[in-house]
Structure 1
Amino acid sequence: MKSEARLFGFLVPFCIMAAMAYTYFTGGKEWVGIVGITLVAALSGFIAFYLWLVSRKLDPRPEDRLDGEIAEQAGDYGFFSPYSWWPLWLGLSCAALFLGVAIGWWMVIISAPLVALATVGWTFEYFRGEKAV
């Protein structure tokens, strides 16, 4: 967690300098950008402080220790179905859904049930018994 806290901690001065540069180049007339970049700096500071607090209470992870090895971080990444067709159908139906936003809402209405069907199909692909699809 210390590496993440440092990462967000480095964002704070960067965003403050970016806000000052933005203020200088816009002449202080563009308030939305100034406030937005300043809020990004403040929220990055909040996240950095939270991660720093949490990292003090937890045991250091391998990437936080100088003697940490890559093999210590290895673990189970989960089960991925080798011959599943559901990701293809989900991707195609999501593409049709997002294309429908650009083309017309009638296509969104047609493709939204297909997205729901493909999501449920992929989720319950290996379920057996009374909850099987």
Structure 2
Amino acid sequence: MKSEAWIFVVCTAFMVLVTPAYWFVTAASEEGGDWTGTSALVMCTLLFAMITVYLGFHAMRMDPRPEDREDGDIAEGAGEYGFFPPFSWWPLWAALTFGLVVLAVAMAAWWLFIIAAVLGLLALAGWNFEYYRGEFKH
């Protein structure tokens, strides 16, 4: 976990350097600087810093993984990595119904919004309960 934390430390440091540089460059070309881009970069910097703190905190509290140690062997990382779901059509239907909801709001077609929201709830329920029925039931 320490290697991931160091990657985000570098990204945070980069954003800390780039954000004021962006503000100074846009301040020279526009009146008062580009506040939209500057605030977006500040928020990205804070998000990188938040992930850095999270990964660093957990890296200190957990035992080093084989890939974090200099003397770690590849064989030490063998074993079960977890559960990976098989293919599923439910994310596609959920995304399509969400797109329909956004389209309905953009067109102010509230009748379409209601239909899309109901279909979206059905898609989310199907996605949530796909392991309780059918071929992949457990």
TM normalised by structure 2 equals 0.67
Percent of aligned pairs sharing the same letter: 36
Superposition map of 1:1-133 within 5 A? 1-27=1-27, 29-30=32-33, 32=35, 33-66=37-70, 67-69=72-74, 72=77, 75-80=81-86, 86-106=90-110, 107-127=112-132
Distance 1:39 1:70 in 2: 41
Cα shift at 1:9: 0.6
Structure 2: gaps of 5 or more residues = 134-138
Distance 2:92 2:45 in 1: 40
Distance 1:71 1:104 in 2: 57
Cα shift at 1:36: 4.2
Cα shift at 1:97: 2.3
Distance 1:23 1:38 in 2: 10
Cα shift at 1:31: 6.2
CA RMSD in angstroms comes to: 3.1
Letter paired with 2:113: V
Contact 2:12 2:48 in 1 (8 A): yes
Cα shift at 1:46: 4.2
Contact 2:26 2:33 in 1 (8 A): yes
Alignment deviations for residues 72-100 of structure 1 (CA, whole Å, 9 cap, x no partner): 265233343x6x65445334323322332
